Structure 1
């Protein structure tokens, strides 16, 4: 791989105009595809095979008005008034009649029909049912509904429109989200001391993100791509695109400072740092693609979309970046005598400049056992709230303060009870057309009213031809409350008894039930998915570093980072710590797919930092065979890059915490916190301490296992000149593993 990337980097450097034209052509092609095909995002969360989804599919033919999405229209009279007054009643009637003519509307359930008027007569609730799911509504359908009911405000009523038809609309990237890019530019400028060098990672990342996002939007015509998938792909594509280019460019400038020819330096940087980038990117891609094992379509698409963005970032880093290095030629070399030059090459008769990374490594390895204990104790403490983790899909109760859907949600909860914001639907398949079926549906309604946690059960909607009936069940708790989840389970537990008594098959469905089924599936898949990710971590690092200690240490560090991130998310989004500071609209359960997304993404990024840092240590160990100095030298060479990369990742993710989107905000926070903890507490602190503690044993591998494992040459040793002083060309005496019976000597 190192040799292939070496040749690829040299070829891109030489044929830079052709490479640049090729990427410009790819970008133009995907833009044309998007213009030709258009793009439509799908924010519905379906879970094929679940009871709730099967019932929805069954209802689509006989009860189209109940099978689609719905909207709530809440009318509130002014103080001292009542919605039953003739002028207000007429205004509501006219508004709802106009709503019935809006696009895609199947039925309008007035307050008189459903009895949804508060006791003080100040608030009335109407329901507008659509034929389609939210993602299938005509563009402008909800705007037409809002326009239809707006005249009621002229009569003096306060009108709020919300309900399941309103949900996450994704993130519109604005000034606040671009702060992360500006901070990244500042970090790169400080790291390189050159605006030319700082601009290259940003330019290559923008090309990768442009190709990835435009292509994703183009294929959304045929695939169900959610706005959250687009946002995650944007965050990851931008972050890893900058970081991967940073790693290669740092190696290139170090080699230029040592006097290497620019073309040879670009090729060597591609074969060494580029080799690590390919491996690190592969781990992210594999982890994200692993989301498909959860068997939830929207999550599979989300994982594959983000994986595609990372894959494009890797391709850009090993092709377009060397071409850009060709355009810059030797202008990227640090000025002679500058600190950047002295960090990589010692002046004649002097020593290399000491770096902050080297000083930090000396500090944490001076008392390694104490360092390890302190880091583990701190992260374990932060992880304590994770024991209280609850999962659910967000509701309009998490919408921004002041939005119409949030006002409707809060007004309904105050006036009618939180359960009215997400009623359950019960499909009763009686199989008995006519009077017998109607009587069975009535008995089922009576049974449901006896279930603890049920506030009300609406009259059955009966389909005479099929004998099926749909009943609306109002829970006592909010749609995302634990009591509502328990109620769904209780109804399903009673279903066999109801079937024996009435002969009807009973299924619980509706948006609330679908959300509960999604959360249950995700919660059940968390442990198996964690096992897959941990197993993958062990195998990959075993192959790359040919060591037993390093994979175990890396995996343990990853688990600590994940646990601490879960704890921080629960503390902020469930317990409300710093909620006002971070603009959390409402505390409650964590978005149900956050844990698996966090584990997949953080696994890949943690392995990035592990490879960037430890490959430098192994490179020095391979050269000198001295364990202690190898840790310090590796930290000295890589810590600046890892620090810069982590800060860029942190600020890119943190900039998305400013969004009001209830799906994106907690994911962005979890990723920002996880990256910060993993990079600085685990990789930069825990890793050097562990390696210093075990000494030469860190690089031990049984000989039989060494023979079985492929040699990936992650450090690009085959690209270096043949060793001197008695070593045969191509030999790497210090990388040979200790024998199974040989005890590792104390650390240097």
Structure 2
């Protein structure tokens, strides 16, 4: 009883501490804060009170925006926005007379607003300002979009999606557990641990947010991961406990044996997932790093919850574990076709058939997985924007209007910052530089302290109020240029344009920023760190599987097979979410023709860890039988047969929880949930049922080969699960 009181007290305290976690999480974090573009953006804000606007007000009117009444209302709106606390500047068509800020039909215009501070502060400011600045204002109607308003809506939608996913996942998970156990009591135990894990997850996120930036999406992803793994780990332990009772052990002895065997497997399975998530730490973007910190903490929490709470509950329940057998006929059917029964199980029959024709099964399965991966060959990557929001949300609708009626370059220029150049003393050098940039393909115009340039010709002289904006606010050295491009921000042409600007020799050390530059820098940063992340996963997984099996062949083969098991998910990611096919399967979303550049990396690390999690459990049972019989074929059949029902139930639980995540109205979470659920299902069925036994059969005794020094090392330090 003291254990239950302690768990209850800790859970209540964790619930109270974690209840405010949403207020401490941050949107964004998809780019490196140390990249050239990020440093350029900070310099613009700090020294020039400038930079790309992070809030855009779309002004619509029945009359032309040049009409006197409309112009008066638009000018008043601009002045009102500029006077608000937290606003760096507000510029509009009526204050700058920039034609790019007026739509072609003349009935819409833009107010560009720069909010002070980082993304988190700008989001809080937008939350206050949007209701005050939008709506009908005399002859005009105002709606808001841009990074800051979008981030605010993301926070709200993410919280709603989490509630929906939990309400959907919990009853479905309970049904799966009932089908696996039959007993309502036995099925309730993993659910109990799962609920405690979710509450603990929120507390963990709140604690982490006090030390580092934590992504808003960490709440959705880690609660799903924590709940699914906690249920899985508890499922392993409860199943082993029931087996030990069936063998005639006393309650205490059954608990001890369950912890010695399944409990040890849980520990190393959690280690497997944690090591895979640790690979995210090599990427210097806090969206990935915070998910790594949170994910590792949650995996450890799920394992500890299973190992610390379940033994106490099992000791209290004792032999009543099979009470309330609401699915008795179904349970008897499973028991009658499981391992050791007279009637061969489905898994036994399947694996036996594969072992008879391993070449056909193995090559056929590998070819199918490679075929499913083909769409990933034309994957295109970009940065997240308003289209992550559900179709019809206010910021998404406003942004769509801006894209259709205005030149996107007006709200997303490429910026060049030269903090050490004096535009007054070095006017000639600055003029030559601006002229050269204006001649680049896709450059529409260049605005600078040396005037405005287009196609190598000056279209506005320096010395005007407009050109004065390109000097530092304190009159010190330093200047910047705004380069308007007709290439899309998230397009290949936009990336090429940024690279072309960077290749031009500047009269002073220069930093190139803007959204297009952020995409270039993010791709470069992630690409540079990708081999290191792959090395972390490969080395750690190889070492762990070697400790389990004593073989160097099995770990290498498992790494290759796990890569193949992810191909279907990556192909589907492109086919559905980039190309827009089969949207009815996952629900409607705004498809952009691109994937958010960080999502495939996140999905790979999480899915690889989950796949290897089940691989560890399966290979330990195969190795156990091989050590007894020295019969490779029999060991493979035994291992898959004896883990088939358990791993299938565990995979269904995790897939269900992740599929519930895919019901999110946010396309990024929808992509993660659907992709991860598919990866788990493919691994638990096609890969484990066909590809693994086929390759194990083809390699035969070579599966267990290792050099003599490594065999001796394994004899001393290897891990063996009974």
* TM-score after normalising by structure 1: 0.86
Contact 1:650-1:672 within 8 A present in 2 as well: yes
Name the structure 2 match of 1:642. 647
Shift >6 Å, 4+ stretches: 35-38, 334-337
2:534 pairs with 1:530: yes
Describe the shift of the 1:137–1:27 C-alpha distance in structure 2 as closer, same or farther (beyond 3 A). Answer: farther
Structure 2 match to 1:722 = none
Is the CA contact (8 Å cut-off) linking 2:338 and 2:345 kept in structure 1? no
Contact 2:618 2:643 in 1 (8 A): yes
Q: How does 1:719-738 map to 2 (within 5 A)?
A: none
C-alpha distance in 1 between matches for 2:360 and 2:354: 9
> Aligned-pair distance for 1:418?
3.1
**Aligned pairs (5 A) from 1:327-726:** 327-333=316-322, 338-339=332-333, 341-342=335-336, 351-432=341-422, 435-436=424-425, 440-460=429-449, 461-463=470-472, 465-494=475-504, 497=505, 499=506, 503-579=507-583, 581-582=585-586, 583-709=588-714, 714-717=719-722
CA distance in 1, matches of 2:681, 2:674: 11
Counterpart contact for 2:241–2:254, Cα < 8 Å: yes
Secondary structure in structure 2 of the residue aligned to 1:471: strand
SS of the equivalent of 1:467 reads coil
Instruction: Write out per-residue CA displacement over residues 684-717 of structure 1, whole angstroms, 9 at most, x where no aligned residue.
Output: 3211222233333333334332112365664434
Q: Secondary structure in 2 aligned to 1:426?
A: strand
From the superposition, tell whether residues 248 and 35 of structure 1 become closer, same or farther in structure 2 (CA, over 3 Å): closer
Checking the alignment, whether the CA contact within 8 Å between 1:96 and 1:149 is kept in structure 2 is no
Please give the alpha-carbon distance, in whole angstroms, between the structure 2 residues aligned to 1:279 and 1:218. 25
State the Cα distance separating 1:660 from its structure 2 match.
2.3
1:22 aligns with 2:6: yes
Can you list the C-alpha shifts for 1:550-606, whole angstroms capped at 9, x where unaligned?
212211111112333222211122222223543231232211112221222122111
Q: Decide whether aligned partners of structure 1 residues 63 and 617 sit closer, same or farther in structure 2, where only a CA change above 3 A counts.
A: same
1:162 aligns with 2:162: no
Q: Contact 1:650 / 1:675 at 8 angstroms: preserved in 2? A: yes
Contact 1:438–1:462 (CA under 8 A) maintained in structure 2? no
- How many residue pairs end up in the alignment? 685
Partner of 1:188: 177
Which ranges in structure 2 are unaligned for 5 or more consecutive residues?
A: 450-469
Paired residue secondary structure (2:471):
strand
Q: Which moved more, 1:476-485 or 1:505-514?
A: 505-514
Matched, 1:75 2:64: no
Match of 1:721? none
User: In structure 2, do the counterparts of structure 1 residues 177 and 437 end up closer, same or farther at CA, with 3 Å as the change threshold?
Assistant: farther
Counterpart pick for 1:113 among 81, 89, 95 = 95
In the alignment, which residue of structure 2 is the partner of 1:7? none
Alignment-derived partner of residue 10 in structure 1: none
Deviation at 1:36, TM superposition (A): 9.3
2:441, 2:187 → 1: CA distance? Answer: 62
* Offset, 1:258: 2.4
1:219 counterpart (203, 208, 226) = 208
Contact residue 275 and residue 715 of structure 1 kept, 8 A: no
Residue of 74, 83, 93 corresponding to 1:92: 74
* Distance in 1 (alpha carbons) for counterparts of 2:427 and 2:117: 27
Please point out which of 114, 120, 128 is paired with 2:113. 128
Change (3 A) 1:298 1:36: closer
User: Is this contact kept in 2: 1:254–1:341, CA < 8 A?
Assistant: no
Deviation, 1:284, is 1.0
State how far apart, in whole Å, the 2-side matches of 1:352 and 1:319 are: 37
Give the C-alpha shift of residue 412 in structure 1. 1.7
Q: 2:26 aligns with which of 36, 42, 46?
A: 42
Structure 1 alignment gaps of length 5 or more: 1-16, 718-748
Maintained 8 Å contact 2:115/2:125? no
Q: What is the deviation of 1:453? A: 1.6
2-structure distance, mates of 1:164, 1:443: 34
Distance 1:227 1:54 in 2: 23
102-111 or 328-337, which deviates more: 328-337
Q: Which moved more, 1:259-268 or 1:505-514?
A: 505-514
Find the counterpart in structure 2 of residue 281 from structure 1.
270
Decide whether aligned partners of structure 1 residues 357 and 37 sit closer, same or farther in structure 2, where only a CA change above 3 A counts.
closer
Asked if 2 retains the 8 angstrom alpha-carbon contact of 1:391 and 1:523, the reply is no
- Where 1:127 maps in the other structure, the secondary structure is strand
Q: Is the 8 A contact 2:208 2:294 kept in 1?
A: no
Given that 2:220 and 2:661 are in contact with CA atoms closer than 8 Å, whether structure 1 keeps it comes out as no
Deviations 1:466-487 (A, max 9, x none): 2322333232233212211111
Q: Is contact 1:546-1:701 (8 Å) kept?
A: yes
Choose which of 35, 41, 47 in structure 2 pairs with 1:56.
41
Measured on the aligned residues, the alpha-carbon RMSD in Å equals 2.6
8 Å contact 1:590–1:666 — kept in the other structure? no
Q: What is the alpha-carbon distance in structure 2 between the residues aligned to residue 414 and residue 345 of structure 1?
A: 62
Say which SS state the counterpart of residue 476 (structure 2) adopts.
coil
TM-score under structure 2 normalisation? 0.89
Q: Which residue of 1 aligns with 2:258?
A: 269
Deviations 1:454-512 (A, max 9, x none): 23334552226223223332322332122111111111111xx2x2xxx3332111344
Q: Deviations over 1:247-274 (max 9, x none)?
A: 1111111222222222211211111111
Indicate whether 1:326 and 2:315 are aligned.
yes
Counterpart of 1:142?
127
